[in-house]
Amino acid sequence: DIQLTQSPSFLSAFVGGRVTITCRASQDIGSYLAWYQQKPGKAPRLLVYAASTLPSGVPSRFSGSGSGTDFTLTISSLQPEDFATYYCQQLEKYTFGQGTKLDI
């Protein structure tokens, strides 16, 4: 099974700041990676697909990069609504990373 390891598990930041979350796959998954944002009591929301492509409607302060086994999600100029939990997911066997909670 393909394992995904996210780091860090918890992250504190401030409005206007910049954060980077990493996701490492246990084997090469090419660009078969997505990132999701989840707020308490809500369903996840797709933020990035194919490792680096933003769906329509996702603000440009979000960006994804990487391929193979190492991936990153960067949020620049943090807004109050960005404080949430973020998950990576590999799109071959669909497993998720354990999540990164972004707090103020």
Partner 1 sequence: QVQLVQSGAEVKKPGASVKVSCKASGYPFTGYYVHWVRQAPGQGLEWMGRINPSGGTTTYSQNFQGRVTMTRDTSTSTVYMELSSLRSEDTAVYYCARLSVAVTLYGMDVWGQGTTVTVSS
Report the residue from 44, 63, 67, 69 that binds partner 1 according to the rule CB under 8 A. 44
Question: DSSP 3-state assignment of 50?
Answer: coil
Residue 99, CA distances (Å) to 6, 9, 36, 45, 56 in order = 6, 6, 9, 13, 23
Q: Is 58 near partner 1 (CB under 8 A)?
A: no
Q: How far apart are CA 74 and CA 6, in angstroms?
A: 13
The pair phi, psi for residue 80, each rounded to 5°, is: -55, -35
Report the residue from 19, 34, 73, 75 that binds partner 1 according to the rule CB under 8 A. 34
Report the nearest approach of partner 1 to the CB of residue 21 (Å): 14
Report the residue from 20, 31, 67, 69 that binds partner 1 according to the rule CB under 8 A. 31
For partner 1, the closer CB: 24 or 45: 45
# chain residues binding partner 1, by CB under 8 A: 25
Could you tell me which residues come within 8 angstroms of residue 101 by beta carbon, excluding any fewer than 6 positions away?
9, 10, 11, 84, 85
Interface ranges with partner 1 (CB under 8 A)? 1, 31-32, 34, 36, 38, 43-46, 48-50, 55, 87, 89, 91-99
